[in-house]
Amino acid sequence: MVKSTEALVLAAVREEVMAYGVRRATATSIARRAGVSRVTVYRVGGTINDLVMSALVSEFRQLLDEVRVPDPIPAGADRLTVLVDEVLGFLSALRASPLFRALQHHDAEILLPYLLDRLGRSHEMLLSHLRERITGGIADGSVREVDPDRAALVLLLALQSFAVSGSIVQAHGHASEIEDEIRHVVTGYLQPVAPPAP
């Protein structure tokens, strides 16, 4: 399949950041990698930082597509189980992403505004998916009655610490054991509350 000009440029940005970091990336070097002109690079994304964030959004979208369970969900499964499996798969894939790791280790300051001050396009994409799964879980009874928008935001903010703290996860236990705990966190937050015993 022939890549679009935007896809070529974002792929070149990804390669450039992984090789040299954001500070050394230039429109000229990106254009050379993509096989396009500098003007085309600027048309696709504006500043270098804008291009890097667009490349990261593209990375998030690809990773989400890889772990997303297609509808209809498997027989015998419920939306909460599917959501938890997707969350764990996405976190694992994101921690392994060469682009995300490069930004964390060499250019973490570009990520800080999206951790401290505002939601970005990647957040909005993930929120939409979480909201969809939570809404479906409420309908099939696997998720408690809760406002899907609020629950999706709380879940996203809670989980992003596991995404950005991959080194800590690795240093303090086996990833599979940490994933078991994350499964408990997400399930415990969303599952229906059992009625008190009579």
Per-residue pLDDT tens digits for 144-175: 999 999 999 999 999 998 888 877 777 776 77
Compute CA distances 178 → 38, 112, 141, 183, whole Å.
Answer: 45, 24, 27, 9
Q: Domain ranges for the chain, please list them.
A: 49-190
Q: What fold characterizes domain 49-190?
A: Tetracycline Repressor; domain 2 (1.10.357)
CA 153 – CA 155 distance, rounded (Å): 5
Burial grade of 2 (CB within 10 A; 0-12, 13-18, 19 or more): exposed
pLDDT in tens, 49-68: 999 999 999 999 999 999 99
Max CA pair span of the chain: 73
Q: What is the pTM of this model?
A: 0.90
Check whether 71 has a pLDDT greater than 90. Answer: no
pLDDT band at 95 (very low <50, low <70, confident <90, very high): confident
